[in-house]
Amino acid sequence: MSRIQSIAVFGSTGSIGQNTLAVATALRSELRIVALSAHRGTAQALAQARQILPRWLVITDQEAARAQDWSSLPPQTELLVGPEHLEELAAHPEIDCVVAAIVGSAGLPSTWGAISAGKRVALANKETLVMAGPLVMELARQTGAALLPVDSEHSAIFQAMQAGRPHEVARLILTASGGPFRNLPLDELARVTVDQALCHPNWSMGKKITIDSATMLNKALEIIEARWLFGVSPAQIEVVVHPQSVIHSLVEFCDGGVMAQLSPPDMKLPIQYALTYPARVPGPAKKMNWQTACQLDFSPVDTRRFPAIELGFEAARAGGTAGAVLNAANEAAVAEFLAGEIPFTEIAAVCRRVLNAHTFESQPTLERLLAVDRWARQEVTARVCS
């Protein structure tokens, strides 16, 4: 890179946000964080600001911002309160790159803002592509924004794709760990607790995506994400269970050659690659140890155990409003599960019912997608309460 990149980290207090800070600290001669954002974790955000000394700190939840004592905020850091400041900063000329690390559909407006402004976007917020893939990709094409995947599977595919040309790609194979319930007897699935579901075997992540990994709704969202990001048809996407999470995904080319990307399960590598691409530089991500015996296993997905996978393929095939409906229904259902209101197996079941009940539109605008998102959430609440 020719000069220091100025980075905004939206969602800096989350799992991806914290890993981004670790990468940026290790690569401080190339990257400088100039903006941080958090929703309610104000004490953590204040501590980050004291460490990073950014020019801006955005707190999106007004009440949380009011409740915090900001007297120790560094003098060079300006405190901005309210989500509208994210969109403002996303377009700010002093910011080169936005790390979109907010969880859920709340991340869409600021990611959209960064793409509209033609910025480099390190995209962790897969919901942006799940909800509005065709609109987002068209916008990026018009503005010249570079959309670089942070999701480990999509980063792996992006890296493996460097071995061929886009039209030579035959299949994308997404790997999935299978989560904590890969081997649980099927009849016990309905009784698993929140704590059991939050116990991921390989990755330490935010609560929402950890539950999504246990249901495999995360893989469903990733199928849709891959479909739009790489412009492939859903028939070219496959999912394989790989419990070690060392191969992060694979690309099969038309001649049968398969390229895989391997590394220990550590998000610092995909985050770093999205920030330094096309360069590769030494960084803080964990490295493989080839001198200990290890095994890499693969097995097909059991779709009776994980009905979410079919939801993902269905929404990827349908396009239009289907991704936004599935995403919102799942966000609402996960919140109900975490609150102890519905059993684990109801998450995918309620997504199925809401997806079936919605009036499909093939070419929705962004406004329609946001309206459909609200509708799907209300449907989940109504169905859970009835």
Residues that bind Mg ion (CB under 5 A): 151-153
- Does residue 233 contact residue 227 with C-beta atoms inside 8 Å? yes
Write out the residues near ligand NAD by the rule CB under 6 A: 11-17, 38-39, 41, 60, 83, 101-103, 106, 124-127, 151, 203, 205-206, 208-209, 267
* CB nearer Mg ion, residue 309 or residue 370: 309
* CB nearer Mg ion, residue 20 or residue 152: 152
The least CB distance from residue 223 to ligand NAD, in Å, is 14
Distances (CA, A) of 145 to 98, 112, 117, 119, 253: 11, 10, 7, 5, 27
* CB nearer Mg ion, residue 261 or residue 321: 261
Residue 312's H or E segment, with its range, is: helix 308-318
Measured from each CB, the residue nearest to ligand NAD is: 14
The least CB distance from residue 285 to ligand NAD, in Å, is 13
13 binds, among Mg ion, ligand NAD, none (CB under 5 to 8 A by kind): ligand NAD
Amino acid residing at 22: A
* CB nearer ligand NAD, residue 266 or residue 361: 266
Distance CA 99, CA 106 (A): 14
Distance CA 324, CA 354 (A): 11
* CB nearer Mg ion, residue 174 or residue 259: 174
The least CB distance from residue 214 to ligand NAD, in Å, is 14
Cα of 9 vs its chain's centroid, Å? 14
85 binds, among ligand NAD, Mg ion, none (CB under 5 to 8 A by kind): none
**Neighbouring residues of 61: CB distance < 8 A, sequence distance ≥ 6:** 39, 40
Measured from each CB, the residue nearest to Mg ion is: 151
The least CB distance from residue 340 to Mg ion, in Å, is 26
The verdict on whether omega for the bond into residue 180 sits within 30 degrees of 0, i.e. cis, is no
245 binds, among ligand NAD, Mg ion, none (CB under 5 to 8 A by kind): none
The least CB distance from residue 196 to ligand NAD, in Å, is 19
The least CB distance from residue 131 to Mg ion, in Å, is 17
- Does residue 108 contact residue 126 with C-beta atoms inside 8 Å? no
* CB nearer Mg ion, residue 151 or residue 331: 151
Distance CA 16, CA 267 (A): 7
334 binds, among ligand NAD, Mg ion, none (CB under 5 to 8 A by kind): none
267 binds, among ligand NAD, Mg ion, none (CB under 5 to 8 A by kind): ligand NAD
- Does residue 151 contact residue 222 with C-beta atoms inside 8 Å? yes
The least CB distance from residue 212 to ligand NAD, in Å, is 7
Burial class (CB in 10 A: 0-12, 13-18, 19+), 280: exposed
Amino acid residing at 37: S
* CB nearer ligand NAD, residue 196 or residue 202: 202
Distance CA 279, CA 257 (A): 25
